[in-house]
Amino acid sequence: MDQTELAYQLCLIAQRAGQDIMDVKAKLNNGNIRLKDDGSPVTIADMRAHNTICRGLSRLMPGTPIVSEEGMSGNPNTSGVSFVVDPLDGTKEFIKGNGMYTVNIALARRIGPSRWKPVLGVVVAPETGTTWFGGTQVKAARQRSDSIRNIRVNNRSNPPIVVGSLSHPSPKDSLFRDDLGEHIFEGVGSSIKICRVADGTADLTARFGPTSCWDTAAAHAVLNSAGGSLLNPSGEELDYDLVDNRLNPPFLATRGSNWVDVWIRHQE
């Protein structure tokens, strides 16, 4: 299966999972919410979406490992490729009812003994009916209703539009933004932040707080396909450990190199 056909199939799977989430949302109450050991919330919607995605991926590419926030299937150490999944990225936004949550599915390829790079990504925002997708062999695109258009990072002039976390702000985020000079800030949830950089409706987003591989891998692939970068604290393209340490370091998603020096300075 070529990457274009795979992207189409992943979009369908992610969109089905998004419909599961919307069905649960109509009946959501406190009895449908529990806390994980780390204190983060998980809902019935997370688990239904997880099950839908895992069934779909297992039929699509049998035996391919699946690294999901809600559970792992298979062992990435024994494979050259692996799926990376967040069935509901932005559970806090889902519970708040602001619509800024997503379904994330990435295909990652091994680039070293324990390092992985996302090569194809699909991100669905169920509330708005928006799907972003892209990969190393698939041009980045955004689908809304029945229309699909290719997307590209924007080379707009200043002031830049900076998008940042709604539920997980940190003092470091504010200090970094202050050092950028004049800018426009917009609060956005989940991987929508990275997708907005990819589709040119924002210029950059920085994250100093904790995230995991499944929070970023899908949107990362879309951003790379659209001409942008997702950088680690050293200013190099981020890669992932899918087994031993799935936590990301701080990262910057950017349309260009304009702010990389500022980013690196704030890691010191």
User: What CATH code is carried by the domain that includes residue 248?
Assistant: 3.40.190.80
Query: How many angstroms separate the CA atoms of 185 and 251, rounded?
Result: 17
Residue 95 lies in a domain: yes
Query: How many angstroms separate the CA atoms of 240 and 91, rounded?
Result: 22
* 72 and 177 fall within a common domain: no
Query: How many angstroms separate the CA atoms of 250 and 164, rounded?
Result: 13
Return the pLDDT at 35: 57
Return the pLDDT at 44: 84
Residue 155 lies in a domain: no
* 124 and 182 fall within a common domain: no
* 251 and 193 fall within a common domain: yes
CA distances from 189 to 81, 159, 163, 181, 195 (A): 28, 22, 9, 23, 11
Return the pLDDT at 1: 83
* 87 and 172 fall within a common domain: no
- CB 105 within 8 Å of CB 121: yes
Domain count, the chain: 2
**What phi, psi does 144 have (nearest 5°)?**
-135, 130
Domain containing 123 equals 3-150
**Burial (CB count <10 Å: 0-12, 13-18, 19+), residue 113:** exposed
Six-digit token pair at 138?
């698939």
* 108 and 193 fall within a common domain: no
Output the pTM of the full model: 0.94
Name the residue among 47, 57, 42 with its Cα closest to residue 9. 57
Residue 231 lies in a domain: yes
Query: How many angstroms separate the CA atoms of 88 and 86, rounded?
Result: 5
Q: Of 101, 121, 150, which marks where a domain is finished?
A: 150
Residue 156 lies in a domain: no
Per-residue pLDDT of the chain (268 residues; tens, 9 = 90+): 899 999 999 999 999 999 999 998 887 765 566 655 555 667 788 999 999 999 999 999 999 999 999 999 999 999 999 999 999 999 888 888 899 999 999 999 999 988 999 999 999 999 999 999 999 999 999 999 879 999 999 987 689 999 998 776 788 988 999 999 999 999 999 999 999 999 999 999 999 989 999 999 999 999 999 999 999 999 999 999 999 999 999 999 999 999 999 999 999 7
* 124 and 200 fall within a common domain: no
The CATH number that applies at residue 67 is 3.30.540.10
Return the pLDDT at 82: 98
**What phi, psi does 13 have (nearest 5°)?**
-65, -45
Q: Of 130, 150, 170, which marks where a domain is finished?
A: 150
Q: Which residues on adjacent β-strands are paired with residue 72?
A: 67
Q: Which amino acid, one-letter code, is at 62?
A: P
